[in-house]
Amino acid sequence: MNNITARPTSQMVEALYRAESRRVLATLIRLLGDFELAEEALHDAFRAALEQWPRDGVPANPRAWLVSAGRFKAIDGIRRHARFEALDEDAAEKIAAPDDPATWGREDIEDDRLRLMFTCCHPALPPDAQVALTLREVCGLTTEEIARAFLTAPPTLAQRIVRAKTKIRDARIPYEVPSPEDLPDRLESVLRVIYLVFNEGYSASSGATLTRHDLSGEAIRLGRLLIELLPEPEAMGLLALMLLQESRRAARASPAGDLILLDEQDRSLWNREQIAEGLALVQRALASRHFGPYTLQAAIAAVHASAPEAAATDWRQIVGLYDVLARAVPSPVVELNRAVAVAMRDGPEAGLALIDAILARDELADYHLAHSARADLCRRLGRDAEARVSYQRALALVQQEPERRFLERRLAALPE
């Protein structure tokens, strides 16, 4: 045992909880085979540390000690119930099978975190449950924090998490990293969940604020963890995309919280460290030649990030990248973004024709950004009556207050 440091043990255990609890939980889930049992064991282990470490000293390997303590606390609990249910003793014996935590290396523990991430993002779970469970179990956010971020009542969010855990148990969803054959499809689920979390933080779907830094920060942390454990090119592409978009955070809103468009942002406020890291990751992902849509979107963001001013943006390259992206993942939203890029390259009339074609197919009719993009192009062409109708349609659909105020200002600025 090591001697207790000068800091009070309670502070040290609290710091250890912040740094290590998700790793310890991931391993306990593997050993105990049950989310609820593992979470209870985790808290029992930290309580035991608060009681024993001041007396006995801090163990040489605190993480392994906590895993071992948590496991044996769970075994004790199961055996207390074994007097009433004989099968519980069998479960206790299985959990107590020889497995010396002192022999575990960092790789073993991190493999458990990767297993946990894939389990929480299993395609058998509903998408909203995948997001909630990942934030709760992998990131350690409280139910109240997740509910507040996604504007959901805490009891509703809690039930969503409980149902997901029940589904994992009843469907016997394996706690494992997928095989090489299954990895591409399963990795897509993980990447999608991380990007959903990021998007809600980077551009909140509704509410009074434009962004939620805590969520985008958690998504970037998940992205870093994923490429540390599984350095796949598309995982690198996603992290690059998030970093390049996040680099613009400080310039995206005024001190009053009003939206500032990309071409009007003060680029001196952009985070150059995040841009440098994002550009390097894009290059690595593209060099692999095994990239996908996240890397292509990151490449588009990289073109924006590399332009010293809005007028220097290489719109020809951006349109070309959107052409490739549209072939890889055809969608009306990609078409809309391409149309805006075409408008910047070839003029507003060319872009407006493309947007009108999308809307004529009755696609994106309820997507406020399609109508706001159309309104802006009409405004630039002097077609004020059409711009007014499109701004009004966008206002009827928008749910975020900063975007609402922006659209109202644009509408009010149109000539009568």
CA–CA dist 63, 26 (Å, integer)? 12
CA–CA dist 161, 126 (Å, integer)? 11
CA–CA dist 374, 410 (Å, integer)? 13
Count CB-CB contacts under 10 A for residue 391.
Answer: 24
Q: What would the pLDDT profile of 204-257 be if each residue is shown by its tens digit?
A: 555 555 556 778 888 898 899 899 888 999 999 999 999 999 999 999 989 888
Look at 52-56, 150-154, 247-251, 404-408 and tell me which has the smallest mean pLDDT.
150-154
pLDDT at 57: 86
Give, in degrees to the nearest 5, the angle at Cα 147 between 364 and 400: 40
Q: In the structure, what pLDDT confidence band is assigned to residue 11 with cuts at 50, 70 and 90?
A: confident
Relative orientation angle of helices 9-32 and 35-56, to the nearest 10 degrees: 140
| Residue located via tokens 């014996």 | 93
Say whether pTM exceeds 0.85.
no
pLDDT: is 349 or 74 the higher one?
349
CA–CA dist 186, 23 (Å, integer)? 21
**Mean pLDDT across the chain:** 87
CA–CA dist 232, 234 (Å, integer)? 6
What is the amino acid identity at position 373?
A: A
Q: In the structure, what pLDDT confidence band is assigned to residue 99 with cuts at 50, 70 and 90?
A: low
CA–CA dist 220, 239 (Å, integer)? 7
CA–CA dist 407, 379 (Å, integer)? 12
pLDDT: is 148 or 250 the higher one?
250
**Cα–Cα nearest to 270, from 224, 314, 309:** 309
Q: In the structure, what pLDDT confidence band is assigned to residue 84 with cuts at 50, 70 and 90?
A: very low
CA–CA dist 141, 103 (Å, integer)? 30
Query: Is the pLDDT score of 90 beyond 80?
Result: no
Give, in degrees to the nearest 5, the angle at Cα 287 between 281 and 288: 95
Quick one: average pLDDT of 51-76? 89
CA–CA dist 274, 141 (Å, integer)? 24
CA–CA dist 166, 36 (Å, integer)? 10
CA–CA dist 188, 174 (Å, integer)? 17
Quick one: average pLDDT of 365-388? 96
pLDDT: is 191 or 97 the higher one?
191
**Cα–Cα nearest to 252, from 210, 207, 310:** 210
Query: Quick one: three-class SS letters along the chain?
Result: CECCCCCCHHHHHHHHHHHHHHHHHHHHHHHHCCHHHHHHHHHHHHHHHHHHHHHHCECCCHHHHHHHHHHHHHHHHHHHHCCCCHHHHHHHHHHCCCCCHHHCCHHHHHHHHHHHHHHHCCCCCCHHHHHHHHHHHHCCCCHHHHHHHCCCCHHHHHHHHHHHHHHHHHCCCCCCCCCCCCHHHHHHHHHHHHHHHHHHHHCCCCECCCCCHHHHHHHHHHHHHHHHHCCCHHHHHHHHHHHHHHCCHHHCECCCCCECCHHHCCHHHCCHHHHHHHHHHHHHHHHHCCCCHHHHHHHHHHHHHHCCCHHHCCHHHHHHHHHHHHHHCCCHHHHHHHHHHHHHHHCHHHHHHHHHHHHHCCCCCCCHHHHHHHHHHHHHCCCHHHHHHHHHHHHHHCCEHHHHHHHHHHHHCCCC
pLDDT: is 374 or 80 the higher one?
374
Query: Is the pLDDT score of 259 beyond 50?
Result: yes
**Cα–Cα nearest to 315, from 345, 358, 279, 270:** 345
Q: In the structure, what pLDDT confidence band is assigned to residue 81 with cuts at 50, 70 and 90?
A: low
